[in-house]
Structure 1
Amino acid sequence: MEIADRRIDGGKPFDWGRTSEDYAKYRDIYPPEFYRRILDRGLCRDGQRVLDLGTGTGVLPRNLYAYGARWTGVDISEEQIRQARLLSEDMDIRYLAASAEELDFPDRSFDVVTACQCFWYFDHGKLMPELCRLLEPGGRILILYMAWLPFEDRIAGESERLVLKYSPNWSGAKETMRPIRIPDVYKEKFELVYHEEFPLQVSFTRESWHGRMRACRGVGASLTEAEIALWEEEHRKLLEKIAPENFEIRHYGAVAELKKDRMDKKKVRPGRRKQYAD
Protein backbone atom coordinates (compact mmCIF):
# COMPACT_ATOMS: atom_id res chain seq x y z
CA MET A 1 0.00 0.00 0.00
CA GLU A 2 1.51 3.30 -1.10
CA ILE A 3 1.46 6.10 1.45
CA ALA A 4 2.13 9.80 0.91
CA ASP A 5 2.19 12.02 4.00
CA ARG A 6 3.52 15.59 3.86
CA ARG A 7 4.93 15.15 7.39
CA ILE A 8 7.22 12.34 6.17
CA ASP A 9 9.97 12.65 3.54
CA GLY A 10 8.42 15.85 2.20
CA GLY A 11 5.42 13.87 1.01
CA LYS A 12 7.37 11.44 -1.18
CA PRO A 13 5.31 8.23 -1.58
CA PHE A 14 6.55 5.02 0.03
CA ASP A 15 5.31 1.44 0.28
CA TRP A 16 6.65 -0.93 2.94
CA GLY A 17 5.27 -3.85 0.95
CA ARG A 18 7.97 -3.29 -1.65
CA THR A 19 10.68 -4.10 0.88
CA SER A 20 8.91 -6.67 3.07
CA GLU A 21 11.28 -9.53 2.24
CA ASP A 22 14.29 -7.38 3.12
CA TYR A 23 12.48 -6.13 6.21
CA ALA A 24 11.89 -9.70 7.37
CA LYS A 25 15.52 -10.67 6.76
CA TYR A 26 17.44 -7.61 7.91
CA ARG A 27 15.40 -5.58 10.40
CA ASP A 28 15.03 -8.03 13.27
CA ILE A 29 18.05 -6.42 14.93
CA TYR A 30 17.04 -5.17 18.38
CA PRO A 31 19.62 -6.39 20.92
CA PRO A 32 18.59 -8.26 24.12
CA GLU A 33 18.99 -5.10 26.21
CA PHE A 34 16.24 -3.42 24.20
CA TYR A 35 13.75 -6.15 25.08
CA ARG A 36 14.95 -6.27 28.69
CA ARG A 37 13.90 -2.64 29.15
CA ILE A 38 10.36 -3.62 28.17
CA LEU A 39 10.16 -6.66 30.41
CA ASP A 40 11.63 -4.79 33.37
CA ARG A 41 8.66 -2.43 33.16
CA GLY A 42 6.40 -5.45 33.79
CA LEU A 43 4.91 -5.16 30.30
CA CYS A 44 4.31 -7.57 27.39
CA ARG A 45 4.41 -10.66 29.61
CA ASP A 46 2.49 -13.02 31.92
CA GLY A 47 -0.87 -13.28 30.18
CA GLN A 48 -1.26 -9.59 29.31
CA ARG A 49 -3.31 -8.91 26.19
CA VAL A 50 -1.04 -6.85 23.93
CA LEU A 51 -1.91 -5.03 20.72
CA ASP A 52 1.14 -4.24 18.57
CA LEU A 53 0.48 -1.35 16.19
CA GLY A 54 2.51 -1.11 12.99
CA THR A 55 3.73 -4.62 13.70
CA GLY A 56 5.54 -4.92 10.35
CA THR A 57 6.92 -8.46 10.17
CA GLY A 58 5.99 -9.10 13.80
CA VAL A 59 9.43 -8.39 15.26
CA LEU A 60 8.16 -7.36 18.69
CA PRO A 61 5.59 -10.14 19.25
CA ARG A 62 7.94 -12.83 17.96
CA ASN A 63 10.86 -11.82 20.16
CA LEU A 64 8.74 -11.43 23.31
CA TYR A 65 6.41 -14.37 22.68
CA ALA A 66 8.17 -16.65 25.17
CA TYR A 67 7.30 -14.33 28.07
CA GLY A 68 3.65 -15.28 28.01
CA ALA A 69 1.68 -12.30 26.69
CA ARG A 70 -1.21 -12.84 24.27
CA TRP A 71 -0.31 -10.90 21.14
CA THR A 72 -2.30 -9.29 18.33
CA GLY A 73 -0.30 -7.51 15.61
CA VAL A 74 -1.79 -5.08 13.11
CA ASP A 75 -0.21 -3.35 10.13
CA ILE A 76 -1.65 -1.45 7.19
CA SER A 77 0.57 -3.39 4.74
CA GLU A 78 -0.74 -6.79 3.67
CA GLU A 79 2.75 -7.78 2.50
CA GLN A 80 4.21 -7.05 5.94
CA ILE A 81 1.48 -9.12 7.59
CA ARG A 82 2.14 -11.98 5.18
CA GLN A 83 5.79 -12.02 6.22
CA ALA A 84 4.81 -11.81 9.90
CA ARG A 85 2.62 -14.88 9.56
CA LEU A 86 5.35 -16.83 7.78
CA LEU A 87 7.85 -16.02 10.53
CA SER A 88 5.37 -16.87 13.31
CA GLU A 89 4.08 -20.22 12.07
CA ASP A 90 4.88 -21.98 15.35
CA MET A 91 3.46 -19.19 17.55
CA ASP A 92 -0.09 -18.35 18.56
CA ILE A 93 -0.04 -14.71 17.40
CA ARG A 94 -3.00 -13.09 15.69
CA TYR A 95 -2.13 -10.79 12.78
CA LEU A 96 -4.45 -8.43 10.92
CA ALA A 97 -3.92 -6.12 7.95
CA ALA A 98 -5.71 -3.00 9.14
CA SER A 99 -5.37 0.71 9.81
CA ALA A 100 -4.48 1.48 13.43
CA GLU A 101 -7.06 4.27 13.51
CA GLU A 102 -9.95 2.00 12.44
CA LEU A 103 -9.73 -1.18 14.52
CA ASP A 104 -12.86 -3.21 15.18
CA PHE A 105 -12.10 -4.73 18.60
CA PRO A 106 -14.51 -4.58 21.55
CA ASP A 107 -13.99 -2.02 24.30
CA ARG A 108 -11.29 -2.86 26.87
CA SER A 109 -9.84 -5.65 24.73
CA PHE A 110 -6.21 -4.99 25.72
CA ASP A 111 -3.97 -4.34 28.71
CA VAL A 112 -1.05 -2.94 26.70
CA VAL A 113 -0.67 -1.29 23.29
CA THR A 114 2.81 -1.21 21.76
CA ALA A 115 4.07 0.93 18.89
CA CYS A 116 7.64 0.19 17.85
CA GLN A 117 9.35 2.27 15.18
CA CYS A 118 6.04 3.60 13.85
CA PHE A 119 4.44 6.18 16.17
CA TRP A 120 4.96 9.15 13.82
CA TYR A 121 2.90 7.55 11.03
CA PHE A 122 -0.45 7.75 12.80
CA ASP A 123 -3.27 10.32 12.84
CA HIS A 124 -3.19 10.86 16.60
CA GLY A 125 -6.40 12.85 16.71
CA LYS A 126 -8.17 9.67 15.57
CA LEU A 127 -5.87 7.15 17.23
CA MET A 128 -5.85 8.47 20.80
CA PRO A 129 -9.61 8.04 21.45
CA GLU A 130 -9.47 4.60 19.83
CA LEU A 131 -6.64 3.46 22.09
CA CYS A 132 -8.47 4.86 25.10
CA ARG A 133 -11.49 2.76 24.13
CA LEU A 134 -9.47 -0.40 23.53
CA LEU A 135 -7.45 -0.30 26.77
CA GLU A 136 -8.51 -1.34 30.23
CA PRO A 137 -8.53 1.42 32.87
CA GLY A 138 -4.90 1.84 33.92
CA GLY A 139 -3.76 0.19 30.67
CA ARG A 140 -0.49 1.20 29.06
CA ILE A 141 0.74 2.50 25.73
CA LEU A 142 4.39 1.58 25.22
CA ILE A 143 6.15 3.54 22.47
CA LEU A 144 9.53 2.21 21.35
CA TYR A 145 12.24 3.44 19.06
CA MET A 146 15.80 2.61 18.00
CA ALA A 147 18.02 4.53 15.59
CA TRP A 148 21.65 4.67 14.55
CA LEU A 149 23.65 7.75 15.52
CA PRO A 150 25.17 9.21 12.31
CA PHE A 151 27.15 11.94 14.07
CA GLU A 152 28.82 9.44 16.41
CA ASP A 153 29.40 6.50 14.05
CA ARG A 154 31.34 6.90 10.81
CA ILE A 155 29.84 3.92 8.98
CA ALA A 156 26.30 4.98 9.88
CA GLY A 157 27.01 8.57 8.89
CA GLU A 158 28.51 7.70 5.51
CA SER A 159 25.69 5.25 4.72
CA GLU A 160 23.12 7.86 5.68
CA ARG A 161 24.70 10.46 3.42
CA LEU A 162 24.40 8.05 0.51
CA VAL A 163 20.68 7.53 1.22
CA LEU A 164 20.24 11.32 1.23
CA LYS A 165 21.93 11.51 -2.16
CA TYR A 166 19.05 9.48 -3.62
CA SER A 167 16.29 10.62 -1.21
CA PRO A 168 17.24 14.18 -0.19
CA ASN A 169 13.98 14.75 1.71
CA TRP A 170 14.21 11.51 3.70
CA SER A 171 13.20 12.48 7.24
CA GLY A 172 14.81 9.45 8.90
CA ALA A 173 18.23 11.12 8.86
CA LYS A 174 20.30 13.17 11.33
CA GLU A 175 19.18 11.43 14.51
CA THR A 176 20.55 12.32 17.94
CA MET A 177 19.63 10.76 21.27
CA ARG A 178 16.37 12.33 22.42
CA PRO A 179 13.09 11.49 24.17
CA ILE A 180 10.18 10.27 22.09
CA ARG A 181 7.82 13.15 21.34
CA ILE A 182 4.27 12.54 22.54
CA PRO A 183 1.54 14.58 20.80
CA ASP A 184 -0.37 16.85 23.16
CA VAL A 185 -3.69 15.14 22.40
CA TYR A 186 -2.64 12.21 24.63
CA LYS A 187 -2.71 14.48 27.69
CA GLU A 188 -6.52 14.33 27.57
CA LYS A 189 -6.68 10.67 28.60
CA PHE A 190 -3.14 9.48 29.34
CA GLU A 191 -0.27 10.29 31.66
CA LEU A 192 3.41 9.91 30.74
CA VAL A 193 4.65 7.73 33.60
CA TYR A 194 8.10 6.76 32.32
CA HIS A 195 10.61 7.52 29.62
CA GLU A 196 14.20 6.49 29.06
CA GLU A 197 16.85 6.93 26.38
CA PHE A 198 19.93 4.71 26.33
CA PRO A 199 22.92 3.89 24.09
CA LEU A 200 23.11 0.59 22.25
CA GLN A 201 25.71 -1.22 20.15
CA VAL A 202 24.26 -3.37 17.34
CA SER A 203 26.38 -5.97 15.52
CA PHE A 204 26.44 -6.24 11.71
CA THR A 205 28.35 -7.76 8.84
CA ARG A 206 28.81 -5.78 5.65
CA GLU A 207 25.99 -7.77 4.08
CA SER A 208 23.54 -7.37 6.96
CA TRP A 209 24.21 -3.62 7.28
CA HIS A 210 23.77 -3.24 3.51
CA GLY A 211 20.47 -5.12 3.79
CA ARG A 212 19.39 -3.04 6.80
CA MET A 213 20.01 0.18 4.87
CA ARG A 214 18.28 -1.13 1.75
CA ALA A 215 15.24 -1.97 3.89
CA CYS A 216 14.85 1.60 5.12
CA ARG A 217 12.11 3.91 3.90
CA GLY A 218 14.54 6.15 2.02
CA VAL A 219 15.74 3.27 -0.19
CA GLY A 220 13.73 0.08 -0.62
CA ALA A 221 10.31 1.49 0.24
CA SER A 222 10.48 4.55 -2.03
CA LEU A 223 13.14 4.42 -4.78
CA THR A 224 12.61 2.95 -8.25
CA GLU A 225 14.30 -0.35 -9.10
CA ALA A 226 16.87 1.50 -11.22
CA GLU A 227 17.65 3.91 -8.38
CA ILE A 228 17.97 1.04 -5.89
CA ALA A 229 20.44 -0.71 -8.19
CA LEU A 230 22.60 2.42 -8.41
CA TRP A 231 22.42 2.97 -4.65
CA GLU A 232 23.38 -0.66 -4.02
CA GLU A 233 26.45 -0.44 -6.24
CA GLU A 234 27.63 2.72 -4.47
CA HIS A 235 26.88 1.42 -1.00
CA ARG A 236 28.72 -1.85 -1.47
CA LYS A 237 31.79 0.02 -2.70
CA LEU A 238 31.53 2.38 0.27
CA LEU A 239 31.42 -0.47 2.76
CA GLU A 240 34.39 -2.19 1.15
CA LYS A 241 36.32 1.01 1.68
CA ILE A 242 35.34 2.00 5.23
CA ALA A 243 33.96 -1.09 7.01
CA PRO A 244 35.56 -4.33 8.21
CA GLU A 245 33.67 -7.56 7.59
CA ASN A 246 32.21 -7.49 11.11
CA PHE A 247 31.49 -4.35 13.09
CA GLU A 248 29.10 -2.61 15.47
CA ILE A 249 26.98 0.46 14.81
CA ARG A 250 26.22 2.95 17.56
CA HIS A 251 22.48 3.29 18.14
CA TYR A 252 20.24 4.59 20.84
CA GLY A 253 17.00 3.17 22.17
CA ALA A 254 14.07 5.12 23.57
CA VAL A 255 11.01 4.09 25.58
CA ALA A 256 7.94 6.11 26.54
CA GLU A 257 5.18 4.62 28.68
CA LEU A 258 1.73 6.21 28.90
CA LYS A 259 -0.92 5.19 31.43
CA LYS A 260 -4.64 5.45 30.74
CA ASP A 261 -6.56 7.42 33.35
CA ARG A 262 -8.67 5.24 35.61
CA MET A 263 -11.31 7.97 35.71
CA ASP A 264 -12.55 10.33 33.02
CA LYS A 265 -11.18 13.75 33.95
CA LYS A 266 -14.43 15.37 32.80
CA LYS A 267 -16.33 13.48 35.49
CA VAL A 268 -14.19 14.64 38.40
CA ARG A 269 -15.99 17.28 40.44
CA PRO A 270 -14.17 20.58 40.98
CA GLY A 271 -12.19 20.63 44.21
CA ARG A 272 -12.05 16.84 44.56
CA ARG A 273 -8.98 14.70 43.94
CA LYS A 274 -9.10 11.56 41.85
CA GLN A 275 -8.43 8.40 43.85
CA TYR A 276 -6.60 5.61 42.06
CA ALA A 277 -6.69 2.03 43.31
CA ASP A 278 -3.16 1.16 42.25
Structure 2
Amino acid sequence: MGKAKRSATELGREPATDDGALVALLAAGLRLQTSDNVWRVSGNTLPHRLMLRDAGGTWNRLDQCWDFTGEDPTTRLVAAIEAAPTPSGHNSGNAEAPKPHYHGHRGRVRERVLKTGTEPLADYELLELLLFYSIERIDTKPLAKRLLERFGTLGDVFAAEPGQLREFEIDQRTLVHFKALREVGRRLAERKVKDMPVLTNWQQLIDYCHAALAHEKTEQFRILFLDTKNVLIADEVQQRGTIDHTPVYPREVVKRALALNAAALILVHNHPTQPF
Protein backbone atom coordinates (compact mmCIF):
# COMPACT_ATOMS: atom_id res chain seq x y z
CA MET A 1 0.00 0.00 0.00
CA GLY A 2 2.82 2.39 0.91
CA LYS A 3 4.63 1.65 -2.37
CA ALA A 4 1.52 2.51 -4.37
CA LYS A 5 1.23 5.83 -2.62
CA ARG A 6 4.90 6.67 -3.04
CA SER A 7 4.85 5.93 -6.77
CA ALA A 8 2.09 8.49 -7.19
CA THR A 9 3.85 11.08 -5.07
CA GLU A 10 7.35 10.91 -6.45
CA LEU A 11 8.10 14.52 -5.61
CA GLY A 12 6.22 14.64 -2.32
CA ARG A 13 2.88 15.79 -3.70
CA GLU A 14 -0.12 14.08 -2.05
CA PRO A 15 -2.43 12.23 -4.46
CA ALA A 16 -5.99 13.43 -4.77
CA THR A 17 -7.33 9.87 -4.71
CA ASP A 18 -7.40 7.06 -2.20
CA ASP A 19 -5.05 4.14 -2.05
CA GLY A 20 -7.66 1.81 -3.52
CA ALA A 21 -7.61 3.67 -6.84
CA LEU A 22 -3.83 3.61 -6.93
CA VAL A 23 -3.78 -0.10 -6.22
CA ALA A 24 -6.26 -0.61 -9.09
CA LEU A 25 -3.84 1.16 -11.44
CA LEU A 26 -0.95 -0.97 -10.20
CA ALA A 27 -3.03 -4.10 -10.71
CA ALA A 28 -3.50 -3.02 -14.33
CA GLY A 29 0.29 -2.65 -14.68
CA LEU A 30 0.26 1.17 -14.62
CA ARG A 31 2.31 3.58 -12.51
CA LEU A 32 1.30 7.18 -11.82
CA GLN A 33 3.76 10.00 -11.12
CA THR A 34 3.20 13.74 -10.95
CA SER A 35 5.16 16.98 -11.16
CA ASP A 36 4.07 20.57 -11.87
CA ASN A 37 0.47 19.65 -12.75
CA VAL A 38 1.64 17.03 -15.25
CA TRP A 39 0.54 13.48 -14.46
CA ARG A 40 2.53 10.71 -16.10
CA VAL A 41 1.34 7.16 -16.56
CA SER A 42 4.00 4.57 -17.36
CA GLY A 43 4.40 0.81 -17.10
CA ASN A 44 2.53 -1.69 -19.26
CA THR A 45 0.60 0.95 -21.18
CA LEU A 46 0.34 -0.84 -24.53
CA PRO A 47 -2.87 -2.82 -23.73
CA HIS A 48 -4.47 0.38 -22.42
CA ARG A 49 -3.28 2.85 -25.06
CA LEU A 50 -6.74 3.52 -26.54
CA MET A 51 -8.24 4.03 -23.10
CA LEU A 52 -5.39 6.37 -22.10
CA ARG A 53 -5.84 8.41 -25.26
CA ASP A 54 -9.61 8.61 -24.86
CA ALA A 55 -9.12 9.73 -21.26
CA GLY A 56 -7.19 12.76 -22.49
CA GLY A 57 -3.64 11.45 -22.40
CA THR A 58 -0.88 12.35 -24.84
CA TRP A 59 1.87 9.87 -25.69
CA ASN A 60 5.28 11.25 -24.70
CA ARG A 61 7.67 9.49 -27.03
CA LEU A 62 10.77 10.99 -25.41
CA ASP A 63 9.97 9.68 -21.92
CA GLN A 64 7.92 6.67 -23.07
CA CYS A 65 4.83 7.50 -21.00
CA TRP A 66 1.36 9.08 -21.23
CA ASP A 67 1.03 12.69 -20.07
CA PHE A 68 -2.10 14.20 -18.51
CA THR A 69 -2.40 17.87 -17.61
CA GLY A 70 -4.70 19.53 -15.10
CA GLU A 71 -6.45 17.55 -12.40
CA ASP A 72 -5.49 14.10 -11.14
CA PRO A 73 -6.66 11.56 -13.77
CA THR A 74 -6.58 8.55 -11.42
CA THR A 75 -10.32 8.32 -10.78
CA ARG A 76 -11.35 8.48 -14.42
CA LEU A 77 -8.61 6.06 -15.43
CA VAL A 78 -9.76 3.50 -12.88
CA ALA A 79 -13.36 3.95 -14.04
CA ALA A 80 -12.30 3.47 -17.65
CA ILE A 81 -10.34 0.32 -16.79
CA GLU A 82 -13.31 -1.16 -14.92
CA ALA A 83 -15.67 -0.30 -17.77
CA ALA A 84 -13.39 -1.64 -20.48
CA PRO A 85 -14.63 -4.79 -22.27
CA THR A 86 -12.72 -8.04 -22.05
CA PRO A 87 -9.75 -7.84 -24.44
CA SER A 88 -10.40 -9.48 -27.79
CA GLY A 89 -8.44 -12.53 -28.80
CA HIS A 90 -8.69 -16.15 -29.78
CA ASN A 91 -10.17 -17.13 -26.40
CA SER A 92 -12.53 -14.20 -25.93
CA GLY A 93 -15.18 -15.06 -28.45
CA ASN A 94 -14.81 -11.61 -30.02
CA ALA A 95 -13.29 -10.76 -33.37
CA GLU A 96 -9.78 -9.38 -33.15
CA ALA A 97 -9.29 -5.69 -33.78
CA PRO A 98 -7.82 -4.78 -37.17
CA LYS A 99 -4.05 -4.80 -37.12
CA PRO A 100 -2.01 -1.83 -38.36
CA HIS A 101 -0.48 -2.12 -41.81
CA TYR A 102 3.01 -2.55 -40.33
CA HIS A 103 1.98 -5.42 -38.06
CA GLY A 104 4.67 -8.12 -38.25
CA HIS A 105 6.94 -5.90 -40.37
CA ARG A 106 9.83 -6.04 -37.91
CA GLY A 107 9.77 -9.81 -37.89
CA ARG A 108 9.76 -9.92 -41.68
CA VAL A 109 12.74 -7.55 -41.88
CA ARG A 110 14.72 -9.65 -39.37
CA GLU A 111 13.89 -12.82 -41.31
CA ARG A 112 15.03 -11.18 -44.54
CA VAL A 113 18.35 -10.15 -42.96
CA LEU A 114 18.94 -13.65 -41.61
CA LYS A 115 18.35 -15.11 -45.09
CA THR A 116 20.14 -12.61 -47.32
CA GLY A 117 22.32 -10.51 -44.99
CA THR A 118 22.40 -6.74 -44.68
CA GLU A 119 24.23 -5.95 -47.93
CA PRO A 120 21.05 -5.73 -50.09
CA LEU A 121 19.40 -3.27 -47.68
CA ALA A 122 19.02 0.32 -48.77
CA ASP A 123 20.29 2.96 -46.35
CA TYR A 124 16.79 3.74 -45.05
CA GLU A 125 16.12 0.03 -44.48
CA LEU A 126 19.35 -0.40 -42.53
CA LEU A 127 18.55 2.66 -40.41
CA GLU A 128 15.00 1.41 -39.91
CA LEU A 129 16.40 -1.92 -38.69
CA LEU A 130 18.69 -0.18 -36.22
CA LEU A 131 15.82 1.95 -34.93
CA PHE A 132 13.86 -1.24 -34.09
CA TYR A 133 16.12 -1.72 -31.09
CA SER A 134 15.70 1.73 -29.57
CA ILE A 135 12.16 2.77 -30.53
CA GLU A 136 9.24 0.50 -29.67
CA ARG A 137 5.69 0.12 -30.95
CA ILE A 138 5.79 2.37 -34.01
CA ASP A 139 6.65 2.04 -37.68
CA THR A 140 10.20 3.37 -37.90
CA LYS A 141 10.46 3.42 -41.70
CA PRO A 142 9.05 6.97 -42.14
CA LEU A 143 11.41 8.24 -39.43
CA ALA A 144 14.41 6.57 -41.09
CA LYS A 145 13.55 8.18 -44.44
CA ARG A 146 13.09 11.62 -42.86
CA LEU A 147 16.42 11.41 -41.05
CA LEU A 148 18.28 10.50 -44.24
CA GLU A 149 16.46 13.22 -46.17
CA ARG A 150 17.53 15.76 -43.55
CA PHE A 151 21.14 14.66 -42.94
CA GLY A 152 22.08 12.87 -46.19
CA THR A 153 24.03 9.77 -45.08
CA LEU A 154 24.01 7.22 -42.29
CA GLY A 155 27.27 8.65 -40.96
CA ASP A 156 25.77 12.14 -40.81
CA VAL A 157 22.69 10.80 -38.99
CA PHE A 158 24.84 9.12 -36.35
CA ALA A 159 27.00 12.26 -36.00
CA ALA A 160 24.08 14.70 -35.76
CA GLU A 161 23.88 16.93 -32.71
CA PRO A 162 21.29 16.01 -30.04
CA GLY A 163 19.51 19.33 -30.63
CA GLN A 164 19.12 18.52 -34.32
CA LEU A 165 17.77 15.04 -33.60
CA ARG A 166 15.29 16.45 -31.09
CA GLU A 167 13.46 17.94 -34.08
CA PHE A 168 12.53 14.35 -34.91
CA GLU A 169 11.54 13.50 -31.29
CA ILE A 170 14.55 11.21 -30.96
CA ASP A 171 14.76 10.10 -27.33
CA GLN A 172 17.83 9.62 -25.16
CA ARG A 173 17.94 5.87 -25.73
CA THR A 174 18.21 6.39 -29.49
CA LEU A 175 20.81 9.14 -29.03
CA VAL A 176 22.98 6.73 -27.06
CA HIS A 177 22.40 4.07 -29.71
CA PHE A 178 23.59 6.42 -32.47
CA LYS A 179 26.71 7.43 -30.53
CA ALA A 180 27.57 3.77 -29.89
CA LEU A 181 27.10 2.86 -33.56
CA ARG A 182 29.40 5.65 -34.66
CA GLU A 183 32.08 4.56 -32.21
CA VAL A 184 31.78 0.95 -33.40
CA GLY A 185 32.46 2.13 -36.96
CA ARG A 186 35.52 4.09 -35.85
CA ARG A 187 36.95 1.17 -33.89
CA LEU A 188 36.41 -1.25 -36.78
CA ALA A 189 38.38 1.10 -39.03
CA GLU A 190 41.05 1.56 -36.36
CA ARG A 191 41.53 -2.19 -36.11
CA LYS A 192 42.78 -2.29 -39.71
CA VAL A 193 45.62 0.13 -39.03
CA LYS A 194 46.53 -0.68 -35.45
CA ASP A 195 49.55 -2.90 -34.90
CA MET A 196 50.44 -2.61 -38.60
CA PRO A 197 53.05 -0.44 -40.37
CA VAL A 198 50.92 2.58 -41.26
CA LEU A 199 53.01 3.70 -44.22
CA THR A 200 52.48 0.38 -45.99
CA ASN A 201 48.70 0.55 -45.42
CA TRP A 202 48.12 4.12 -46.54
CA GLN A 203 44.62 3.57 -47.97
CA GLN A 204 43.49 1.88 -44.78
CA LEU A 205 44.85 4.84 -42.85
CA ILE A 206 42.87 7.23 -45.06
CA ASP A 207 39.75 5.11 -44.56
CA TYR A 208 40.30 5.21 -40.80
CA CYS A 209 40.71 8.99 -40.75
CA HIS A 210 37.58 9.29 -42.85
CA ALA A 211 35.62 7.18 -40.37
CA ALA A 212 36.92 9.21 -37.46
CA LEU A 213 36.58 12.73 -38.89
CA ALA A 214 34.37 12.88 -41.97
CA HIS A 215 31.14 13.59 -40.08
CA GLU A 216 32.49 15.87 -37.35
CA LYS A 217 30.65 19.19 -37.10
CA THR A 218 33.63 21.11 -35.71
CA GLU A 219 37.33 21.15 -36.58
CA GLN A 220 39.62 18.66 -34.83
CA PHE A 221 43.37 18.33 -34.66
CA ARG A 222 44.29 14.67 -34.23
CA ILE A 223 47.69 13.11 -33.79
CA LEU A 224 48.65 9.58 -34.81
CA PHE A 225 51.69 8.47 -32.80
CA LEU A 226 53.96 5.89 -34.45
CA ASP A 227 56.84 3.78 -33.16
CA THR A 228 60.17 3.11 -34.91
CA LYS A 229 58.47 0.58 -37.22
CA ASN A 230 55.73 3.03 -38.19
CA VAL A 231 53.18 1.05 -36.19
CA LEU A 232 50.35 3.06 -34.66
CA ILE A 233 50.82 3.52 -30.91
CA ALA A 234 47.90 5.86 -30.24
CA ASP A 235 45.39 8.13 -31.94
CA GLU A 236 44.38 11.16 -29.87
CA VAL A 237 42.36 14.33 -30.37
CA GLN A 238 44.77 17.08 -29.36
CA GLN A 239 42.37 20.00 -29.82
CA ARG A 240 38.73 20.66 -30.75
CA GLY A 241 37.75 23.98 -32.28
CA THR A 242 34.86 25.66 -34.08
CA ILE A 243 33.41 25.10 -37.53
CA ASP A 244 36.37 26.87 -39.19
CA HIS A 245 39.17 27.04 -36.64
CA THR A 246 41.07 24.93 -34.13
CA PRO A 247 44.13 25.91 -32.09
CA VAL A 248 47.37 23.89 -32.18
CA TYR A 249 50.04 24.07 -29.49
CA PRO A 250 53.39 22.62 -30.67
CA ARG A 251 54.65 22.36 -27.09
CA GLU A 252 51.76 20.08 -26.15
CA VAL A 253 52.28 17.97 -29.28
CA VAL A 254 55.96 17.39 -28.50
CA LYS A 255 55.26 16.82 -24.80
CA ARG A 256 52.74 14.09 -25.58
CA ALA A 257 55.00 12.48 -28.20
CA LEU A 258 57.81 12.22 -25.67
CA ALA A 259 55.45 10.77 -23.06
CA LEU A 260 54.42 8.00 -25.49
CA ASN A 261 58.01 7.48 -26.70
CA ALA A 262 56.82 8.04 -30.27
CA ALA A 263 59.33 7.99 -33.10
CA ALA A 264 57.10 9.67 -35.68
CA LEU A 265 53.82 11.61 -35.91
CA ILE A 266 51.03 11.98 -38.44
CA LEU A 267 49.02 15.17 -37.95
CA VAL A 268 45.39 14.99 -39.11
CA HIS A 269 43.03 17.94 -39.51
CA ASN A 270 39.51 18.23 -40.92
CA HIS A 271 37.39 21.00 -42.44
CA PRO A 272 33.69 20.41 -41.64
CA THR A 273 32.56 22.82 -44.38
CA GLN A 274 34.40 20.84 -47.07
CA PRO A 275 34.20 17.17 -48.14
CA PHE A 276 36.73 15.04 -46.28
TM-score (norm 2): 0.19
Higher relative contact order (Cα pairs below 8 Å, separated by 6+ residues):
1
- Higher strand proportion (structure 1 or 2): 1
Task: Answer with 1 or 2: which has the greater Rg.
Answer: 2
